[in-house]
């Protein structure tokens, strides 16, 4: 039993003196007499004087008032059950890296996940989602999920297409198991890190093969060792370039290729390293321009783009994001494919390529506020801006404000690239709030009848403080109101009957 507005219960103290006043009254003390006939008969005891305790209608009235007060306190029956658990397991290319012990990061992740699931209540409902493909790997109890982990293997692909976003997870419990914590992971989510930092690795993190026969590549090194990288192209096994890559260095290459090539396969001959998947990249000619960002963007950011109907900045132009060093085209068009992964590296906005597009479409999307923004932040500005400060988006007092420099936007590819990032950040911040209840609970606010009326309407669900259980509250207020009404009517009825009996007695006495 819980009370949403327990301070109303203090009103019950006010009933105590009322009950005392009713109980004492002016009635004489009762005494037993062995023979009543010896005592002179002055007056027969009236109904209100027949007992030392309260008359029935007073009891009923007190009961009605007490029930009404209890209803104001919004009592509810509380039942707790484990919250459903959603687990994201990173099985992207970087999870294929092997540790000193020989086990891959994914194996470590599965082992860690199995340990954590063992500590969960048996009846917990779990979902296992696989990142980055956003596939539902398994669904069931914690025990069933442990058995399902054996089937999970690494993937070469990292780009996410479908499935829920992190922002859509709401109040669910969320675990993320991987080698890197997503930046936009909800605060309540748990991150289980696996894998040691890379010692030696180098590979492709981004690539583009345009219609102008221009091959654009980005290579990145990781770990602590300097790596020699040799770019060979298949077929023909020709060496296009060779260079050394320092740990943490990213290098962009622009190479001319044979115009006759429609597809090519590049191999980086850097020797054995910790991630083999980023050593080979296969490209096909894409008639469409592709922009890629090799940046450690949070998964939610990329999801924001896609969930927001894929911001389209021009005819046939779509934004492709490389997450964790790999990406898939947004469409399933086989003419455009990036089918490889790459290691982690520092992001640079300069690595963006941007095809000219009409800025009007962008402006039209941003200038008017398309989202219902009420109840957001309550006056606290939510703002995002580019490092240059030329682009800014802010939410203030429920309205969206955009500051765009049209010249900057037209001339600067980086500015154009940053703008959708800003949009994505904003969308990501706005979306979960849009899905929050329109009326926030105001627990603890003094004398808030809104809580009481909400409690009267129906059951509600909330989380426990540790976030592991869902607390279901079944309000009792409506039944208490009903009980109060019935008790009050009964009190009125009993009192009316008593009054009639007294009146009848007095009439009989008057009649002699």
Partner 1 sequence: MSAQNLVRFPPDFVDRVLALPWGALPRRGAGGTGERAGRHGAGLEFEEHRAYRPGDDLARVDWQVFARTKKPFLKVQRIQEAQRELVLVDLSASMDFGAEPKVDRALRIAAALALALAARGASAEIIPLGAEEALGPVRLERLAGARELLATLERWRATADEDELHRARLRLLERRSLARAPRAWILSDLYALAGWAQFSEQLSARALHPRLLRILDPEERSPSLTEPVEWIDAETGERWIASDPEVALAGYAQRFAAHAERLRQLAERHRLPLRELSEPAQDLAELVRFERSRSAR
Binding site for partner 1 (CB under 8 A): 27-45, 49-50
52 or 497: whose CB is closer to partner 1?
A: 52
Q: How far is the CB of 52 from partner 1 (least distance, A)?
A: 8
**Partner residues linked to 229 by β-bridges:** 243
Task: Select 141 or 498, whichever has its Cβ closest to partner 1.
Answer: 498
Judge whether 132 and 140 are in contact, CB under 8 Å: no
The strand pair at 125-131 and 2-3 is best described as unpaired
Ramachandran bin of 111, using left for φ above 0, alpha for ψ from -120 to 50, beta for the remaining angles: alpha
Q: Minimum distance from CB of 16 to partner 1 (Å)?
A: 25
| Residue whose token pair is 């926030």 | 440
Q: How far is the CB of 51 from partner 1 (least distance, A)?
A: 9
Least CB distance to partner 1 at residue 495 (A): 20
Tokens 């209540």 identify what position?
Answer: 121
Least separation in angstroms between residue 500's CB and partner 1 is 20
- Cβ proximity to partner 1: between 23 and 447 the closer is 23
HSE of 509 in the Cβ direction (CA atoms, 13 Å)?
9
Considering the complex, what minimum distance in angstroms separates the CB of residue 32 from partner 1?
5
CB of 42 to partner 1, least distance (A): 6
Which residue number, 21 or 38, has a Cβ lying nearer to partner 1?
38
Of 17 and 28, which CB lies nearer to partner 1 in the complex structure? 28
Q: How far is the CB of 506 from partner 1 (least distance, A)?
A: 15
Q: What angle do CA 147, 149, 155 make, to 5 degrees?
A: 155
Cβ closer to partner 1: 27 or 98? 27
497: left (phi over 0), alpha (psi -120 to 50) or beta: alpha
Give the residue among 107, 81, 270 at the shortest CA–CA distance from 179.
Answer: 107
Q: Judged by CB, which is closer to partner 1: 49, or 210?
A: 49
Phi, psi of 51 (to 5 degrees): -130, 155
Angle at Cα 426 formed by Cα 423 and Cα 429, nearest 5°? 150
Task: Show Cβ contacts of residue 392 under 8 Å, excluding neighbours closer than 6 positions.
Answer: 383, 384, 385, 386, 401, 402, 403, 422
Strands (E), 161-226: 173-178, 190-193, 200-209, 214-223
Query: Which residue, 455, 433, 458, 429, is CA-closest to 442?
Result: 455
Residues 6 or more apart in contact with residue 5 via CB below 8 angstroms: 72, 73, 74, 447, 448, 451, 452, 455
Residue 37 or 212 with smaller CB distance to partner 1: 37
Spatial separation of the C-alpha atoms in residues 218 and 279, rounded to whole Å: 12
| Least distance from partner 1 to the Cβ atom of residue 20, Å | 19
Residue 60: both structure tokens together: 């009923």
21 vs 39 by CB, closer to partner 1: 39
C-alpha 503, offset from chain centre: 69
Query: Closer to partner 1 at the Cβ: 17 or 40?
Result: 40
Measured between alpha carbons, how far apart are the two ends of the chain, in Å?
A: 59
């Amino acid at each position: 039993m819980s009370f949403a507005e327990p301070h109303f219960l203090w009103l019950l103290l006010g009933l105590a003196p009322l009950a005392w006043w009713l109980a004492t009254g002016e009635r004489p003390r009762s005494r037993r007499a062995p023979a009543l006939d010896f005592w002179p008969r002055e007056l027969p005891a009236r109904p209100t004087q027949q007992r030392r305790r309260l008359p029935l209608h007073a009891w009923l009235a007190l009961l009605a008032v007490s029930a009404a007060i209890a209803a104001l306190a919004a009592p509810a029956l509380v039942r707790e059950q484990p919250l459903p658990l959603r687990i994201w397991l990173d099985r992207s290319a970087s999870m294929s890296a092997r540790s000193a012990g020989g086990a891959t990061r994914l194996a470590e992740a599965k082992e860690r996940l199995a340990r954590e699931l063992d500590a969960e209540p048996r009846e917990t409902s779990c979902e296992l989602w696989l990142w980055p493909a956003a596939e539902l790997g398994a669904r069931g109890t914690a025990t069933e999920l442990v058995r399902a982990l054996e089937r999970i293997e690494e993937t070469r692909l990292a780009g996410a297409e479908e499935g829920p976003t992190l922002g859509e997870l709401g109040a669910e419990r969320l675990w993320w198991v991987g080698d890197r914590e997503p930046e936009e992971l909800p605060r309540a989510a748990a991150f289980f890190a696996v894998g040691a930092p890379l010692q030696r690795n180098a590979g492709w993190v981004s690539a583009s093969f345009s219609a102008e026969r221009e091959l654009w590549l980005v290579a990145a090194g990781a770990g602590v060792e300097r790596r020699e990288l040799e770019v060979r192209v298949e077929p023909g096994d020709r060496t296009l370039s060779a260079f050394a890559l320092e740990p943490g260095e990213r290098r962009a290459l622009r190479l001319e290729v044979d115009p006759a090539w429609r597809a090519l396969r590049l191999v980086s001959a850097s020797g054995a390293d910790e991630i083999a998947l980023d050593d080979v990249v296969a490209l096909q000619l894409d008639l469409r321009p592709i922009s890629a960002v090799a940046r450690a963007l949070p998964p939610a950011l990329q999801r924001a783009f896609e969930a927001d109907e894929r911001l389209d900045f021009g005819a046939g132009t779509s934004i492709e994001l490389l997450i964790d060093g790999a990406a898939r085209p947004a469409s399933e068009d086989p003419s455009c494919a990036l089918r490889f992964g790459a290691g982690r590296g520092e992001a640079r906005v300069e690595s963006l390529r941007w095809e000219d597009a009409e800025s009007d479409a962008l402006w039209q999307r941003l200038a008017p506020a398309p989202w219902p923004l009420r109840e957001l932040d309550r006056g606290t500005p939510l703002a995002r801006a580019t490092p240059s400060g030329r682009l800014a988006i802010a939410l203030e007092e429920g309205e969206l404000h955009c500051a765009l420099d049209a010249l900057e936007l037209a001339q600067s590819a980086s500015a154009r690239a940053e703008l959708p990032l800003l949009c994505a950040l904003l969308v990501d911040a706005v979306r979960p709030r849009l899905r929050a209840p329109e009326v926030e609970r105001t627990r603890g606010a003094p004398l808030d009848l809104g809580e009481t009326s909400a409690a009267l309407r129906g059951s509600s669900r909330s989380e426990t403080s540790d976030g592991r259980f869902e607390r279901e509250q079944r309000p009792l207020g409506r039944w208490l109101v009903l009980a109060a009404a019935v008790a009050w009517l009964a009190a009125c009825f009993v009192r009316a009957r008593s009054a009639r009996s007294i009146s009848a007695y007095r009439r009989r006495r008057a009649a002699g």
